[in-house]
Amino acid sequence: MPETLYYSRIDSPVGSLLLAVSDRGLVALEFGCGKIAAGWVESPERTAPYARQLEEYFLGRRRRFDRPLDLRGTDFQKRCWEELLQIPYGETRSYAEIARAIGNPLAVRAVGLANGQNPIAIMVPCHRVIGSDGSLIGYGGGLEVKRRLLELEGALSGSLV
């Protein structure tokens, strides 16, 4: 029997967000319309705890998310995403720093690709990853959204462009 995922859409200061949860945790948090797959069931009740934490985050009242995640990807991707979860609120890391932290310092481009495939925006904070020169590069929600999230967290210094 195929797995049922429950979803809802919420409005946020950075636009519409699509949330999808399994029985194990959050599977997807996407910007914009997102893609609803066959068998998904709309359920604002099931996604409410995640929506509540996002609302608190956008209001500046939450610095850490503590709801369960259901990360789905390759072993390498999951290692990268787990490392993203270690970046504290208000701080940034470079792709090279993430590559070193996962024990593969030559995998900078692969880390960038894994970041780009992160299915759980904001809660798995790929917006906190910047270029080695401090530049804002590569973000699925767009660079303006990345800038806004970093500003919200107080992580945007004058050197980030």
Active-site residues, by number, are: 126
Q: What is the largest CA-CA distance in the chain?
A: 52
How far, in Å, CA of 125 to CA of 118, rounded?
9
C-alpha dist (Å) from residue 128 to 4, 42, 79, 154: 31, 30, 16, 11
* Assigned token pair, 4: 């049922």
CB-CB neighbours of 138 under 10 Å: 16
Where are any strands of DSSP class E within the chain?
6-12, 15-21, 26-31, 41-42, 93-94, 129-130
* Assigned token pair, 119: 């299915």
Q: Say which DSSP state 1 is in.
A: -
